[in-house]
Structure 1
Amino acid sequence: MVRLVLRRLAWALPLALVASVISFVLVALLPGDAARSLLGQNATDEQVDAARHELGLDQPLWTQYWRWLSKALQGDLGTSLINRQPVTGQLNDRLGPSLSLIIGATLLAAVVGILLGVRGARRGVLGKVVKSGSVIGLAVPDFWLGLVLVVLFAVKLPFFPPTGYVPLTEDPAAWFNSVVLPVVTLAVPATAVIAKQCRDAVATALDQPFVRTLRAAGVPERSVVYRHALKNAAVPVLTVIGMVFVAALGGTVAVEFIFAIPGLGSTAVQATASHDLPLIEGVVVYFTVIVIAVNLLVDVAYHAVNPRVRTS
């Protein structure tokens, strides 16, 4: 187990480095200019050139990246080019809203998806419903579902606020109300994926010889399904749950925009539109760390539920 953790951590730095290089280059290739965004469209070319020189944007791209990387390796992600605030402070403030959505959506999707998958694995009408519902759930776009939920449960039936976010430490009840709709928006397609994978994996496990032996020995059906078949199907289900968590990182971009939530996804959009390279690189670093942490937790969970698994 220790060797697994150390091996995964050894890959963390190269992965973060590659991700930062790719994002730096891609953003630099986009049309636009941070100096122009900072000064506005009415600024003269001389003013823009002076601002570019002051911000160091007139230097070669590799020089800009090396300057950022040198500070990042010391724990300093730099300063935003637009609002001149430390990147780390801004992202720490916005990490909570994003994690609230991602963790909440993943937990909701995992619980509902596993329950539907296990029930649907017994085939019959429910199995067909789960299979068809999975296809429909995957086809529903996040932004469309979010808008529908706002209209139904925030406008016509004002059960939840349509936009905004309240920190958990400030008011737990208001926090819960502010994340219900965005969490459900992210969880619907994720639930479809988990339910489909769980249904197939549990159905395969139920066809194995050991299940027939357990049933012949008089083991209760509930125990056969939940203690034995589900445990045997846990590895592929855990893999999908990990993928759902990572996919939710990308889903937060649209969801945070729709519900006006100040998270990492909306920050990435704003930073990209203004060519704020330090802020974009900071978001990439945070996303990369989250992905590495989730993959590590999934690998550890493999060994917890099935010690025979050996992750290379």
Structure 2
Amino acid sequence: MLIFIIRRLVSGVTVLVALCCVTFFLLYYSGSNIAQNILGEFATSDQIAAKEHELGLDQPLIVRMLNWFGGALHGDLGTSWFTNEPVTQSLLSRLPVTLALIVTATIGIAILASGFGIAAAVKRGGVDRLLQTGAVVGQAIPEFVFAIILVTVFAIGLGWFPATGSIAPGAGGAAWIASLALPVIALVINGLTSTAQQIRSAVIGELERDYVRTLRSRGTPEPVILFKHVMRSAAPAGLTVLSLHFIGMLGGVVIIEQIFALPGMGALAVQSTTLGDTPLVMGVVVYTVVIVIIVNLLVDLANGWLNPKVRVS
């Protein structure tokens, strides 16, 4: 198990370094004049040259990249070129909002999709057809469409929830719940039926196996067969789909945060990329990739615990 974890971490760090290098090159060749953007359109050429020297933009690309990696290895991701705020501080002030949104939505999808998927696999009939139809509709309609509908009906029309996020430093639990309710519901609706369909297929596959028939022939109660044996074997497929949804929401949540004006990582990523704020963009990339690595590692460990064959592979 330890070797398995080390291999996963090494591969994750390799991906992180590669993505950081690619991002650095793309930002360098974006063609935007960072010093001009910071000083404004009326800045003189001398002022621009002085600003470029201050930021190290006059140095070769490889030198700038090595300097950044040297600071990152010591936990220093630099300072934003536009706000002069430490990158780590900017990210840590936005990360809780995004993680609260995504983690809550993932938990909601896991609970509801498991219920619907198991019901469709066991009952079949109308429940199964409803799930199949919902899966097609859910995949065809983006989450921001559900978000706009929810805002229009429940925020603007009925006034049950705030139309925009009211999360601020020191905000209480009620403010968090009210601000995240509609975004979470939009994300859950979008990912619910497709996840439930995967769980349904996995459960049906397990119900058709020989060990299930053997357990039934021995008189084992159906609930015990379903929840103790079948669900344990079908769980890895569900966990894999949930991890993919979680990773997908890290990128897809950008539009949701814009619609609800939530101060999360998505809005920060869009803003920093638009401005060409290299230290902040690199910080967003690092934090996002680290989260993906951690999620994939946890899913692999959970799958290994549920299915010993995964540990051997």
CA deviation string 1:114-166 (max 9, x = no partner): 11111111321111111111111111112222111111111001111111242
Normalised by the length of structure 1, the TM-score is 0.94
Among all aligned residue pairs of Structure 1 and Structure 2, give the percentage whose two residues are the same amino acid: 42
SS in structure 2 at match of 1:185: helix
Query: 8 Å contact 2:78–2:87 — kept in the other structure?
Result: yes
Matches within 5 A, 1:86-235: 86-122=86-122, 123-166=124-167, 170-235=171-236
Aligned residues: CA RMSD:
1.8
AA at the equivalent of 2:112:
V
- State whether structure 2 residue 43 is matched by structure 1 residue 43: yes
CA distance in 2, matches of 1:286, 1:295: 14
Matches within 5 A, 1:55-70: 55-70=55-70
Paired residue for 2:282? 281
SS in structure 2 at match of 1:310: helix
Normalised by the length of structure 2, the TM-score is 0.94
More displaced 10-residue stretch of structure 1: 269-278 or 62-71: 62-71
Evaluate the alpha carbon distance shift between residue 155 and residue 226 of structure 1 in structure 2; reply closer, same or farther with a 3 A threshold: same
Paired residue for 2:9? 9
CA distance in 2, matches of 1:224, 1:278: 54
CA distance in 1, matches of 2:34, 2:139: 37
Paired residue for 1:303? 304
CA distance in 1, matches of 2:163, 2:30: 33
SS in structure 1 at match of 2:84: coil
Deviation at 1:194, TM superposition (A): 1.2
After superposing on structure 2, the runs of 4+ consecutive aligned residues of structure 1 that deviate more than 4 Å are: none
Evaluate the alpha carbon distance shift between residue 275 and residue 241 of structure 1 in structure 2; reply closer, same or farther with a 3 A threshold: same
Deviation at 1:226, TM superposition (A): 2.1
Deviation at 1:221, TM superposition (A): 2.3
CA deviation string 1:161-202 (max 9, x = no partner): 111242696311221111111112222222223111101110
List alignment gaps of at least 5 residues for structure 1.
Answer: none
SS in structure 1 at match of 2:219: coil
CA deviation string 1:278-309 (max 9, x = no partner): 00000011011101110110011012222332
Evaluate the alpha carbon distance shift between residue 153 and residue 201 of structure 1 in structure 2; reply closer, same or farther with a 3 A threshold: same
Query: 8 Å contact 1:97–1:167 — kept in the other structure?
Result: no
Paired residue for 1:291? 292
CA distance in 2, matches of 1:45, 1:284: 32
CA distance in 2, matches of 1:80, 1:145: 34
SS in structure 2 at match of 1:96: helix
CA distance in 2, matches of 1:168, 1:106: 24
Query: 8 Å contact 1:143–1:254 — kept in the other structure?
Result: yes
CA deviation string 1:218-266 (max 9, x = no partner): 3222222222222111111111111111111111211111111111111
Evaluate the alpha carbon distance shift between residue 311 and residue 287 of structure 1 in structure 2; reply closer, same or farther with a 3 A threshold: farther
Evaluate the alpha carbon distance shift between residue 213 and residue 165 of structure 1 in structure 2; reply closer, same or farther with a 3 A threshold: farther
Evaluate the alpha carbon distance shift between residue 145 and residue 43 of structure 1 in structure 2; reply closer, same or farther with a 3 A threshold: farther
Evaluate the alpha carbon distance shift between residue 165 and residue 288 of structure 1 in structure 2; reply closer, same or farther with a 3 A threshold: farther
AA at the equivalent of 2:223:
R
- State whether structure 2 residue 63 is matched by structure 1 residue 74: no
Deviation at 1:97, TM superposition (A): 0.4
Evaluate the alpha carbon distance shift between residue 43 and residue 192 of structure 1 in structure 2; reply closer, same or farther with a 3 A threshold: farther
